[in-house]
Amino acid sequence: MTDVLAIDGLVVMRDGRRTIDGLDLHVGRGVVYALLGGNGAGKSTTIDVLLGFVAPHAGTVRVDGLSPAQDAAAVRRRLAYLPENVALYPYLSGIENLRYFCALAGIRLDRQAAAGMLAQAGLDVAAHARRVATYSKGMRQKVGLAIAHAKHASAMLLDEPTSGLDPAAANDFARRVREAADDGMAVLMATHDLFNARQVADRIGILNAGRLVAEFDAHTLDHAELERTYLACAQPAGAPA
């Protein structure tokens, strides 16, 4: 399997300490990889490196064979990024936001095609022409998923995507992410949500103090076993067992 996201020996230094410490992580096409870890474990920093916002101190990082540090613009064209709160223009409609962000990426999308993309992402037709200011978080994320599909992104980076969603919305989002992977996209999802990670991911890694301390197939553990493994692996250094 060809790796879309390939991280080898990554080290990131901040304020004289290693926030990422020798990270190896690979995500191939059609794979959802859930990266678990507590606050400060290095999940968001890993995503920032892939986007070219943070430069590695050591190691190699490749997105579709390209280095984010050397060719960030080309890498970002291949990536779709959904942060915890998807940044859309509140006074534009869902269709207008989708067409605008596609235009920034050099993609022409008429209203009919945009409506089809939004429907595919699960956004109710009645919401397509409404201002995004009236949308729930789950609805904004569906616009973000539509943008990812329209860009024909090679990989999607998700940072705490289910935070603040009710169970139904989280379940629907997980299904849409799984569909994106089944269409051939590589997905890296940084999350605290153990249930969603096990539900949608193929692989799970646990990050602690910038180190990948455990990695396994998602379906080798049930939820209780995953919770025990996470609690054992994600404790801060020096915490009681």
Share of the chain above pLDDT 70, in %: 97
CB 215 within 8 A of CB 206: yes
Alpha helices in 151-238 (DSSP H): 167-182, 194-200, 223-233
How far is Cα 137 from Cα 124, in angstroms, rounded to an integer?
14
CATH: 2.60.40.10, 3.40.1190.20, 3.40.50.300, 1.10.10.10. Which one for 3-233?
3.40.50.300
Beta-carbon contacts of residue 92 (< 8 Å; ≥ 6 apart): 100, 131, 132
At residue 238, what is the residue type?
A: G
- Across residues 150-178, what is the average pLDDT? 86
- Across residues 199-211, what is the average pLDDT? 93
Name which residue leads in pLDDT, 39 or 133.
133
Number of Cβ atoms within 10 Å of the Cβ of 15:
5
Render the burial of 2-12: b for 16+ CB within 10 Å, e for the rest: ebbbbbeebeb
> Crossing angle, helix 111-120 and helix 94-104, to 10 degrees?
110
How far is Cα 131 from Cα 5, in angstroms, rounded to an integer?
35
Per-residue model confidence as pLDDT tens digits over 12-25: 998 888 899 999 99
240 exposure class (CB count in 10 Å sphere: 0-12, 13-18, 19+)? exposed
pTM beyond 0.85, yes or no = yes
Beta-carbon contacts of residue 98 (< 8 Å; ≥ 6 apart): 109, 114, 117, 118, 143, 146, 147, 150
When pLDDT is cut at 50, 70 and 90, the band that residue 208 belongs to is very high
Per-residue model confidence as pLDDT tens digits over 63-121: 999 999 999 888 988 898 888 888 899 999 999 999 998 888 788 888 999 999 999 88
pLDDT of residue 241: 33
What mean pLDDT value characterizes the chain?
Answer: 89
